[in-house]
Amino acid sequence: MISEAPIQAAEKIETLGGKVTAYIAVARIKAADGLTISELSELIVSAMRIAIGALDSIPVDGAQRKAIVIDFVGDMFDEFADRVVPLALWPVWLVSKPTIRIIALAVAAGATEALLPLIRGAA
């Protein structure tokens, strides 16, 4: 699993900002040679689990927590999605990237609702 090392790096940190920074730093190293769609999805879902778990202990409104997680997913998409696209498809990617990003964020919004009970149940 590509997300094992980033998850382990983030688990050792207490603060949300520290967890995010550690996760992204190790994920960059793991993704340096490119990613598959499956690996990108795994990185994003694992990042969501870390963020949801860390945010669950912060006293903010549920809508604010969800917005933070979705912003994080957007940042992850912006950081890693380009590594999935082969060079031959790059012109098509440049045109379709904004639409695919919107779809990814919509899926993440629904997944956040599904992941929350799983993360609370595991804790």
**Could you read off the pLDDT of 43-86 as tens digits, one per residue?**
999 999 888 888 877 788 878 888 989 999 999 999 999 999 99
How long a stretch of residues is the chain?
123
**Could you read off the pLDDT of 3-41 as tens digits, one per residue?**
687 778 788 788 888 888 888 998 899 888 889 999 999
Instruction: Report residue 123's pLDDT band, with 50, 70 and 90 as the boundaries.
Output: low
- Taking residue 77's Cβ as centre, other Cβ atoms within 10 Å add up to 19
Q: CA–CA separation, 4 vs 86, rounded Å?
A: 25
Parent domain of 105: 4-122
Structure token digits, residue 113 = 């609702």
Report whether pLDDT(122) > 70.
no
Can you give the pLDDT at residue 44?
Answer: 92
Give the number of domains in the chain.
1
